[in-house]
Amino acid sequence: MAQCDRLTGACECREGAAGKRCDECARGFTGDFPSCVQCHPCFQLWDDAVCQIKRDLEHIQYTAQKILESGVMPDIGDTRIRELEMKLLEVQDLISSEDGDRIHQLIGQSIDDLRAEIALTDGRLMGVAREINSTSEEESELRRTLSDLEQQLRDVNATVAHKQRVLDDFLTSGFADQFEKVKKYYQESLTAEDKCDASVSGPLSPVEQSKTSRAVTENLLNATRDNFLRALAAQNKSLSELQQKDLDLDKKVHHLSHKVCGGHSNASVNGSCPHSRCGGAGCRDDQGNPACGGDECNGTVSTSVRALTLARNATDRVSAANEELQGVARKLQDIATLTQDVKNQAMNTLEKVQKKKDQFENNNKKLKDFIKKIRDFLTEEGADPESIEKVALQVLAITLPANTTTLDKMVMRIKDRLSNLTDVEGIVNQTAQHIRKAKELLTEAEEAKSRAEGVKDTANSTKQALDESEKAIKEATDALTEAHDNLNSTRNATFEVAERLRQLEEKQDDVMTRLNNLTAEVEALRNKTEQNRQMAKDAKALASNATREASSLEQ
């Protein structure tokens, strides 16, 4: 493989290298030779565009330089000038001739042509002026860049020249120069040694002055040593006594801290007591507030806080129990009034049932007597068979409104409800006793609450009294609920009996109406002729059946 080009003589570099000696990174590669790294693939696209712009700029610069040198536009050359000269000669020939009209015509046509040429030339000149302006701006920018590069090149050249001079001096200097330099540095070392000796020796040196000051100080210490030692011994004795007092006081503080806070005061530098969860004297929390007592601590502070909390809770519970007791008392009064109303209503219903029972028995007796009369009538001869059948059907349609057994059951049901009302009265009386007991317990709790702040046992007795009063109130509430349920049951049963009694009254009225109508029809049948008696025999059997059915209904 050839190492250089046969025509140009340039070295053939490997990929990524360039230059006459192949010691530079080629275009499209970056880094310091020989560590050349290929640029991003987009570099090739931008490189083509930049090269095209560079060629255009070079062409514009070349064209502008030609215009500045010749003063002639590229489109306006010698050919155009010769054409203008020929037209100028034609104009001169026309002026010299005597044909005025033709002259004016040619002049006008020439003026129009010149105007068009001038307008076209102005447009071209304006475009060229714009290109020159943009080119001049780019040229100025390029000149500034070139100036910066020249300045950097001069700086580099100056640095290289300086380094070259230093290197030349070093290479050309002989033994004499080196010896002179050694002598120079030796003299400087001697001067520095003299300065150092002057600072540590001689009457005015700092070391000698320090020795003098030390001797004076030792003399002063020896003169005042005895007094100082006696004063120091006295101060040490006083300090020992103060330390003993401080130790005794510290023990007392620890004891009081344990009694008051429930923990020993062992504060750290920042005031926290990590080994005493109950705090103590001098202990601080995270916010800087004094820390003393807490949950599960036996100090007087924790005990007083718990007693105060119990007292406050007891106050709230006493108030709540008092309000609940007043509500129970109001309910008791309402239930007592409701019990009396229901009892009166049941007694009225019972009296009404007793009266209706007697009335029903009389009506049933009348019905039996009337059926007997009907039977006697039907046994007579001469009755109309159709009338007899009609009367017999009406008799069969009659049913007794109620029997004695039904009324007795209604009476027993009302009496049972009245006995339940008696139980309600007992419940009310028992509830009143519970309320009185609860009031007494609340009174005891109020008295004990005032003493709960001082004694723990009193607070416990207060809590026990409140628990008993709440239990009594709950029992009274349950009893009132049961009494209210019994009252509702009695009231519903009374309403049911009254409704049943009303239905029986309506049914009895209907039966009596039918009996009256049947009586009128029977009286009419009695006035009929002898020819109906034969039919009465047939109706007799029907009447007998009706009598048996009536007897079965009565049973």
Does the structure show a pLDDT above 80 at 239?
no
In the block, tokens 């049972």 appear at 416
Average pLDDT rounded to a whole number, residues 276-304? 71
Average pLDDT rounded to a whole number, residues 274-290? 71
| Spatial separation of the C-alpha atoms in residues 20 and 5, rounded to whole Å | 11
Q: Which helix (H) or strand (E) holds 37?
A: strand 37-38
Mapped onto helix, strand or coil, the DSSP state of residue 201 is coil
Average pLDDT rounded to a whole number, residues 406-423? 56
Does the structure show a pLDDT above 60 at 452?
no
pLDDT, one tens digit per residue, over 75-116 is 555 566 677 667 667 666 666 655 556 656 666 676 677 677
In the block, tokens 């109906």 appear at 532
Average pLDDT rounded to a whole number, residues 536-547? 63
Average pLDDT rounded to a whole number, residues 292-316? 70
> What is the pLDDT confidence band of residue 529, given thresholds at 50, 70 and 90?
very low
Burial 331-369 (b: 16+ CB within 10 A, else e): bbeebbebbeebbeebeebbeebeebbeebeebbeebee
8 A C-beta contact, residue 331 and residue 475: no
pLDDT in the model for residue 238: 73
Most confident of 102-106, 195-199, 496-500, 517-521: 195-199
pLDDT, one tens digit per residue, over 316-352 is 666 666 676 677 667 666 666 766 666 676 677 667 6
Does the structure show a pLDDT above 50 at 397?
yes
> What is the rounded end-to-end Cα distance, in angstroms, of the chain?
146
> What is the pLDDT confidence band of residue 24, given thresholds at 50, 70 and 90?
confident
Average pLDDT rounded to a whole number, residues 125-148? 79
pLDDT, one tens digit per residue, over 172-184 is 666 667 677 778 8
pLDDT in the model for residue 290: 74
pTM above 0.85, yes or no: no
DSSP letter at 16? Answer: T
| Spatial separation of the C-alpha atoms in residues 538 and 387, rounded to whole Å | 11
Specify the higher pLDDT residue, 468 or 152.
152
Which ranges of 16-99 would DSSP assign to H, the alpha helix?
42-70, 78-96
Could you tell me what percent of the chain has a pLDDT over 90?
Answer: 0
8 A C-beta contact, residue 38 and residue 46: no
pLDDT in the model for residue 455: 44
pLDDT in the model for residue 227: 74
Single out the residue of 251, 252, 279 nearest to residue 267, CA to CA: 279
> What is the pLDDT confidence band of residue 409, given thresholds at 50, 70 and 90?
low
Q: Of the ranges 72-86, 229-243, 373-387, 451-465, which one carries the lowest mean pLDDT score? A: 451-465
Average pLDDT rounded to a whole number, residues 492-497? 68
pLDDT in the model for residue 424: 47
Q: Of the ranges 319-333, 454-468, 507-521, which one carries the lowest mean pLDDT score? A: 454-468
Q: What are phi and psi of 193, to 5 degrees?
A: -65, -40
Q: Of the ranges 113-117, 119-123, 544-548, which one carries the lowest mean pLDDT score? A: 544-548
Does the structure show a pLDDT above 60 at 534?
no
Q: Are strands 24-25 and 17-18 parallel, antiparallel or unpaired?
A: antiparallel
Does the structure show a pLDDT above 60 at 208?
yes
Single out the residue of 543, 433, 431 nearest to residue 486, CA to CA: 431
Q: Of the ranges 385-394, 449-458, 516-525, which one carries the lowest mean pLDDT score? A: 449-458
Domain boundaries, the chain: 26-150, 206-298, 300-554
Does the structure show a pLDDT above 70 at 171?
no
Q: Of the ranges 293-302, 326-335, 454-463, which one carries the lowest mean pLDDT score? A: 454-463
pLDDT in the model for residue 396: 54
